[in-house]
Amino acid sequence: MNDDSQKRFEERDMTGALFANEYKDEHDHKQPSARGTVMIGGKKYHVAAWTRFNTMTGKKYLSLKFEDYETWAKEREAARGQKPVPASVKDVGDDEDLPF
């Protein structure tokens, strides 16, 4: 790979990208419509965006939330480890209790 192709994928200050949240539950308004990262002042941030509607004008707008990327990544990883295991997957005990 040459130096030019590496530069294209390098994050530059005051730039970022948002990607549609393809896994969003349309009924859960807490989930963002899009997520991505931005670089501001040499520091990487996670950005989440929600599509909202102005009740006065009826126009769409994007509401944004920025978080320190490292903090966001650690919190996300911790939350993934704390998800409850569905009852169908949990250990139900001894097989001797099963009627078949």
Q: Are 49 and 18 in contact (CB under 8 A)?
A: yes
What is the mean pLDDT of the segment spanning 88-99? 51
Three-state SS for 20? strand
Whether the pLDDT of residue 2 is over 80: the answer is no
24-75 confidence digits (pLDDT tens) = 888 888 999 999 999 999 999 999 999 999 999 999 999 999 999 999 999 9
Report the pLDDT value the prediction gives residue 65, as an integer from 0 to 100.
Answer: 97
Q: Are 40 and 14 in contact (CB under 8 A)?
A: yes
Residue 3's pLDDT band (cuts 50, 70, 90):
low
Spell out the domain ranges in the chain.
3-73
Q: What is the pTM of this model?
A: 0.67
- Contact partners, residue 21, CB within 8 Å, separation at least 6: 31, 32, 33, 34, 35
